[in-house]
Amino acid sequence: MSTSLFNLAGKRALVTGSSQGIGFALAKGLVDAGAELILNGRDEAKLAKASEAIGARQCLCLDVTDHKAVRSEIDAFEDRTGPIDILVNNAGMQHRGPLENFPPEAFERMLATNISSVFNVGQAVARHMIDRGAGKIINIASVNTALARPGIAPYTATKGAVANLTKGMATDWARYGLQCNAIAPGYFDTPLNAALVNDPVFSDWVQNRTPAGRWGRLEELVGACVFLASDASTYVNGHVLYVDGGMSASI
Ligand code: NDP
C-alpha cells in the first residue's frame, strides 16, 4: 500500500489539550506526517514551550469548555489563517473518588471538560468543514468508554458519551464528507495518570491486566491518529479504535 495515503502535507490540524501528554504526542506525530499544527491549552507559557519543541506555527490559547468563546475564536481563526482540516478533541481531565461522595462541582467540571468540549469545538470546526465538504474529526475516548473501574464512575460516564457523540457526529456529518471517529487509549504514562504510575500496586495491576503486559507508550497512539486523519480512512466513520494492548478484549 502506498504511504502517500497517510501523508498529511498541506493539511492543518488543531489538537485540543496539546501542551502536554497524549495531545502533545499526537500533535508531534501529525507534524511528522506532514501536517501544520495548531496547539491548544489554557496556559500560554506551556503552549509556547510545546510549540517550540515540535515546530508548531500557531497556538489557540482557549478554554474549550466555553462554548461562546470557542465559536467566536474558531470563526476568527479560520477567517484569519485558513481552514482547519483535522480536529483532534483531546482535552480532558480526571477526578477520582467514591461515587457516593463525589463532589457535584467536580462532576460538572468533568462533564464540561470531557464531553461539552467535544461538542463545543466539534460543532465550531465542523460548520466550516461542512461548507468545504471535507474534514476529519478524531475524539479521544478511553478504555473506560467500555469498562468501569472503582472511583472513576463520572469519568467513565463522560468517555461513554464521547464514543456516542462520535457516532452521532458521523451519522449527521458523513453526508457532508466528514469522517468522525474516536481513539480509545488504554493506560498511558502522562501527568493525568501520575498518581497511578507512581502507585506500585496500580502499576502492577495495569501490567497484569493488560494482555500486552505493560503500560502504553505515547508514540503507540500516533499510528491510529495519522490513519484516522488521512486519506487512508475515507470510508471509516463512527468507529471507536481501541489502542489498549488488548485490555478491552479480555477479562
Ligand atoms: P493531561 O492531563 O496530561 O493533559 C491534558 C491537556 O488538556 C493539557 O494540555 C491541558 O492543558 C489541556 N486542558 C485541560 N483542560 C482544558 C480546557 N478546559 N481547555 C483547553 N485545554 C485543556 O492528560 P492526558 O494527556 O493523559 O489525557 C489526554 C486525553 O486522553 C484526555 O481526554 C484523557 O481523558 C484521555 N485519556 C488518557 C489516558 C491516559 O492513560 N493518560 C487513557 C485514556 C484516555 P492546560 O491545563 O494547560 O489547559
pLDDT in tens, 72-95: 999 999 999 999 999 999 999 999
Q: What is the Å distance from ligand 1's center to 90 Cα?
A: 6
Q: What percent of the chain has pLDDT over 90?
A: 94
Which has the higher per-residue pLDDT, 181 or 57? Answer: 181
Give 179-196 as a DSSP string. EEEEEEE--B-SGGGHHH
The average pLDDT across 208-222 equals 97
Is the C-beta atom of 190 inside 6 A of ligand 1? yes
Instruction: Count CA atoms closer than 13 A to 73's CA, side-chain side.
Output: 17
Q: Give yes or no for residue 57 having a pLDDT over 90.
A: no
DSSP-derived secondary structure letter, 83: -
Pocket test of ligand 1: the residue of 67, 68, 90, 241 to mutate, having most ligand atoms within 8 Å of its CB, is 90
Residue whose CA is closest, atom 23 of ligand 1?
A: 192
Would residue 155 show up in a list of annotated catalytic residues for this protein? yes
CB 136 within 8 A of CB 87: yes
Among 136, 137, 133, 134, CA closest to 118:
137
Q: How far apart are CA 13 and CA 131, in angstroms?
A: 17
1 compared with 164, residue with greater pLDDT: 164
Structure confidence at residue 134 (pLDDT): 98
Strand partners, 216: 188
Query: Residue 88 region, left (φ>0) first, then alpha (ψ -120 to 50), else beta?
Result: beta
pLDDT of residue 2: 56
Does position 1 have pLDDT exceeding 60, yes or no? Answer: no
Tell me if 136 sits within 8 A of 166, measured CB to CB.
no
Residues paired with 86 in a beta bridge:
13, 136
Q: From atom 41 of ligand 1, which residue's Cα is the shortest distance away?
A: 188
Mean of the per-residue pLDDT values of the chain: 96
* Pairwise CA distance, residues 244 & 147, whole Å: 12
Write down all domains in the chain, each with its CATH number in brackets.
Answer: 3-243 (3.40.50.720)
* Alpha carbon 83 to its chain's center: 19
Burial of 217 (0-12, 13-18, 19+ CB in 10 A): exposed
Catalytic member of 155, 176, 187, 242: 155
**What's the pLDDT band for 61 if we cut at 50, 70, 90?**
very high
Between 195 and 157, where is the model more confident?
157
Q: All 3 cell numbers of residue 129?
A: 468543514
Please say if the pLDDT value at position 125 is more than 60: yes
* pTM to 2 decimal places: 0.98
Question: Average pLDDT of 108-113?
Answer: 98
Distance, in Å, from the CA atom of 231 to the CA atom of 235, rounded to the nearest integer, reads 9
For residues 89 and 117, the answer to whether their CB atoms sit within 8 Å is yes
C-alpha of residue 185 to centroid of ligand 1, in Å:
12
Cβ of residue 130 lying under 6 Å from some atom of ligand 1 = no
Residues in the chain: 251
Alpha-helical regions (H) of 148-242: 153-173, 194-197, 200-209, 222-229
Ligand 1 contact, 64 CB (< 6 A) = yes
